[in-house]
Amino acid sequence: MAFDLKITGGELVDGSGGAKRQADIGIVDGRIVAIGDVDGSARQTLDASGKIVAPGFVDLHTHYDAQVFWDGSLSPSCYHGVTSVVGGNCGFSVAPLAPEHADYLMQMLARVEGMPLESLRAGVPWDWRSFGDYLDRLEGELALNAGFLVGHSAIRRVVMGERSVGFQANDDELREMQDLLRRSLAEGGLGFSTSVSGAHNDADGQPVPSRHASRDEFLALAAVLREQPGSSLEIAPPLGIFDEALKALMADLSIASNRVVNWNVLAGSARNREMVDSQLDASEYARERGARVVALTAVPSGTLWINLRTGVVFDNFHGWADVFKLSIEERKKHLSDPDVRKRLDSDARSEASGLTRQFSNWSKILIRETFSPENARFTGRTVGEAARELGVEPFDALLDIAIADDLRTSFSPRSGDTTQADWEVLRSLWLDDRTIVGASDAGAHLDMLDMFATSTRVLGTAVREQGILSLEDAVRQLTDVPARLYGLRERGQIAEGWKADVVIFDEKSIACEPTFTRDDLPAGATRLYAEAKGIAHVLVNGIEIVRDGEATGERPGAILRAGRDTESVALS
């Protein structure tokens, strides 16, 4: 038999969870047609000797909706072995769209998802209307397979306009939203996403449109999914312990839609077991009622970087939200006022809990990255250390350093290294059917999160360094488990007849390289970035898109559409 491509000499980890084995692979027309002893000629042969051959990794929680227009490679995910992504999460799709609402959506994405506003304006055309029009623009333009959920906030803004913030929908508006969702799904939307998270506020500091919806609205929109085979449902819940009302909402969304509900993000550790248990109880609550709710879990190797320019996390401090409505110059002047500093310091400490409590302990905050020459000596040190050198209080040191950097300084909580007890908690979570490995947020929070490297961190840190998962278990968690949750047809395993999405890597060296700031976005904006180590080849639909860490320039990615590329997933 003649093949387009043969992969020879590698050890196959097929995504099923079965033991790795020596096997070659033959590929024709983008599909795997032979596994094992593959005889026959091939136009191209890849020698995978000494390496692992696995299915391409599947990332269900990204925000690449805008980046698709200026970076069809969808970096850095492509370099970390990801071959399929889902965008439009948390209610924040960029389609459907009405001309008068483009600026609102741009500013909302800049505020809540950390995408530079100047890049959104310069790099995205914003001239489509329907969801189908948006997807059609992407056909043949992407290196990865990509599907996009239809966002609640986008639908609400198109139908209700300015009433989408501050008002509940009337009967006519609700019917129109249902019709718009129905059309968007028929045109290729992969499902529906929404948010009730208190961390999601628009550029004016107001809750994003989805947070103004009534319970009846959530359920009415979820019910539309029953009409579209292969559709999925995602929600961003509030941070912290889940109360009874939230558990009931998620279960009822699953029942109304007859779909599995997945939510982002569960950050598990030995120190927050009470919160983890309360959040996992949402799955038990749903199961008892014939519903299914699944948590996306975070990989602890990623680091949270925050700054006073975008203000995410800082704006959750009591009394701080209005600060981030000011322009950068006005904000710097405001933050230089001693009376303002005194009030902000007091307010931040008064009601801090969880993540905000970590950040309000100013002296322990790590100064992750600085930008002005006078601040260079503080990079990698704590605010407390800088304060002692400057002879000021820690909060004053934090603000002085930030102002000198034009508010670009990146800070991180100094919460200590991940302990063995933390890794054991993660192991139990990742092998639990109530969770999946996920939560990369790739394409969002570009100056704040470096969680985009989930795959290489799981395989490099959790598997090789910590030994909490076998290689076979980890590959399954990164491939088949997410693929089955969204019902992706013929993806997630190396199997005969399935799509040839393949990653070839060195299990002894695969890792995520250190994070740094990279200046490569439209209009000169920056983003956090990290290279992958140990990834030799990445194939999408049988076409090589990455070779030894370099993009080939090929764009074989399919636009994943509900029903055509997915099948409905049972609740049990």
Length of the chain: 572
Answer whether 262's CB lies under 8 Å from 60's CB.
Answer: yes
Give the DSSP letter of residue 248: H
Instruction: Return the residue matching tokens 């194939």.
Output: 539
Where exactly are the structural domains of the chain? 57-301+418-522, 314-412
389 token code pair: 């050198």
Spell out the residues 6+ positions from residue 464 whose beta carbon is closer than 8 angstroms to its own.
Answer: 507, 508, 510
Answer whether 268's CB lies under 8 Å from 275's CB.
Answer: no
> How far is CA 457 from each of CA 63, 392, 423, 514, rounded to the nearest angstrom?
20, 38, 13, 11
Per the omega criterion (within 30 degrees of 0), is the bond before 229 cis?
Answer: no
Query: CA–CA separation, 233 vs 265, rounded Å?
Result: 15
- Phi, psi dihedral angles at 360 (to 5 degrees): -80, -5
How does DSSP assign 260-305, residue by residue?
-EEEEEE---GGGHHHHHHHHHHHHHHHHTT--EEEEE--TTS-B-
How does DSSP assign 5-53, residue by residue?
EEEESPEE--SSSPPPEE-EEEEETTEEEEEES--S-EEEEEE-TTSEE
What's the confidence (pLDDT) of residue 345? 95
pTM of the model: 0.92
Give the homologous superfamily in CATH for domain 57-301+418-522.
Metal-dependent hydrolases (3.20.20.140)
What's the confidence (pLDDT) of residue 352? 59
What's the confidence (pLDDT) of residue 239? 85
Instruction: Give the type of residue at 234.
Output: E
What's the confidence (pLDDT) of residue 205? 83
Plot region of 329 (φ>0 → left; ψ -120 to 50 → alpha; else → beta): alpha
Instruction: Return the residue matching tokens 């929908």.
Output: 169
User: Strand 57-59 vs strand 559-560: parallel, antiparallel, or unpaired?
Assistant: unpaired
Neighbouring-strand partners of residue 264: 296
Spell out the residues 6+ positions from residue 33 whose beta carbon is closer than 8 angstroms to its own.
Answer: 1, 3, 26, 27, 496, 497
Other CB atoms within a 10 A radius of the CB of residue 284 amount to 14
Per-residue pLDDT tens listing for the chain (572 residues): 899 999 999 999 999 999 999 999 999 999 999 999 999 999 999 999 999 999 999 999 999 999 999 999 999 999 999 999 999 999 999 999 999 999 999 999 998 999 999 999 999 999 999 999 999 999 999 999 999 999 999 999 999 999 999 999 999 999 999 999 999 999 999 999 999 999 899 998 899 999 999 999 999 999 999 999 999 999 999 988 999 999 999 999 999 999 999 999 998 888 888 899 999 999 999 999 999 999 999 887 557 888 998 887 888 888 998 999 899 999 999 999 999 999 999 999 887 555 667 678 899 999 999 999 999 999 999 999 999 999 999 999 999 999 999 999 999 986 567 888 999 999 999 999 999 998 899 999 998 888 899 999 999 999 999 999 999 999 999 999 999 999 999 999 999 999 999 999 999 999 999 888 899 999 999 999 999 999 999 999 999 999 999 999 999 999 999 999 999 999 98
